Amino acid sequence: MGKSRFRTLGIVLGIAIGASIGTAVEQIAIGVAVGVVCGFILGFIVDNRRS
């Protein structure tokens, strides 16, 4: 449950970053890429802290 929340937040942040960089297609691509990476990293950190 936590991972999906972080992944969504990462994708939103990625799209926001992408919006200042390129065209609509690039924004979506950057947003998804950044979101998956951020979501994975944050999820990994949170899971390690819990255990």
For residue 13, give its domain range.
2-50
Helices (H) and strands (E) in the chain, counts: 2, 0
Q: How many domains does the chain have?
A: 1
Report the pLDDT value the prediction gives residue 2, as an integer from 0 to 100.
58
At 1-51, the pLDDT tens digits run 456 677 777 777 777 776 777 677 777 777 778 777 877 887 788 778 876
Instruction: Please list, in sequence order, all residues whose beta carbon lies within 8 angstroms of the beta carbon of residue 4, skipping any fewer than 6 positions away.
Output: 39
Report the pLDDT value the prediction gives residue 51, as an integer from 0 to 100.
67
